Structure 1
């Protein structure tokens, strides 16, 4: 019995474009995942006195860095001075919130004037320092609750890379 095997070099993997295909597909998947996660974090973000347009939610943004490399990263983060406190909460018995930081919130939530809100702010700050408050965990929950969807985006990316390389 005689066995003959013929090997041909066919497909994009042999045409020198495989790295480009991998990079382009990874970038596309990373943009999709980052935009999806940004939307999910915003859904879970509490709206304070600034609402969606001027509060914490408006500072949450996604960004893709390292495009064109294999070290591509997607980052979803906030740019707010109080975002970490909203995410993680404040432990009871720890430091009080900074003076003046709650005046606008008190004015809007309690309907008080500037002078009244300044007097009340001390009491609110003291209570927060004493009792603390739970975090919203919007970033943590968005990631944990959508891990399967994010994994699916990159699984689909892997299949697309394999398909394009075999053409």
Structure 2
């Protein structure tokens, strides 16, 4: 199979009218701002992790269970990630071009057919070979579980971040000019 193991990176960037005030708050009260950013990122990352997992196809749930979220806040900057460590995450997300299917791939497809379609034995093996033939000739379609989860949730995350900024500035309103 042609290598498509490049990492996927999707960003949700927040634009704020109050960015200057938030930055000023961070320079004067970094612990408060970072605590609020941490609170926001913890919730946002967990939310997106669930949204991606809900959109992820599963036979035995290996890919779905591999989806993890993490976040870090340092120096007033927060970064959250939702990723998968599974080798087949990128091909499932983006699809593939036509490529050979190994015997191990046929076995995995047969297992999928047995689990998802309820077929067994030679019938399951025959369907697995038919799927492999299609992959060799046409490739596979992407599911786009990461892309669709980010797209579907961007407005909600913008709203939550706006509330985080309001809450942070509200906490510090008596302290800031």
Task: Report the counterpart of residue 138 of structure 2 in structure 1.
Answer: 131
CA distance in 2, matches of 1:30, 1:151: 12
Per-residue deviation at 1:138?
0.7
| Local SS of the residue matching 1:139 | helix
Counterpart of 1:31 in structure 2 is: 42
- Map of 1:134-145 to 2, 5 A cutoff? 134-145=141-152
Deviations 1:10-60 (A, max 9, x none): xxx89x86111111111111111101111111121122x20xxx3211111
Matched residue count: 146
Instruction: Give the alignment's Cα RMSD to 1 decimal.
Output: 2.5
User: 5+ residue gaps in structure 2?
Assistant: 1-23
Whether the aligned pair in 1 keeps the contact of 2:69 and 2:80 (CA below 8 Å) is: yes
Judge conservation of contact 2:95–2:141 (CA < 8 Å) in 1: yes
Cross-structure match for 2:86: 80
Are residue 69 (structure 1) and residue 80 (structure 2) matched? no
8 Å contact from structure 2 (residues 49, 67) kept in 1? yes
**Distance (Å, rounded) in 1 between the aligned partners of 2:102 and 2:75:** 42
| Deviation of 1:166 (Å) | 1.2
Structure 1 unpaired stretches of 5+: 1-12
Q: 1:102 to 1:152 in 2, by over 3 A?
A: farther
Are residue 99 (structure 1) and residue 103 (structure 2) matched? yes
Matched-pair contact (CA < 8 Å) for 1:34–1:63: yes
**Superposition TM-score, scaled by structure 2 size:** 0.71
Shift of 1:120: 6.1
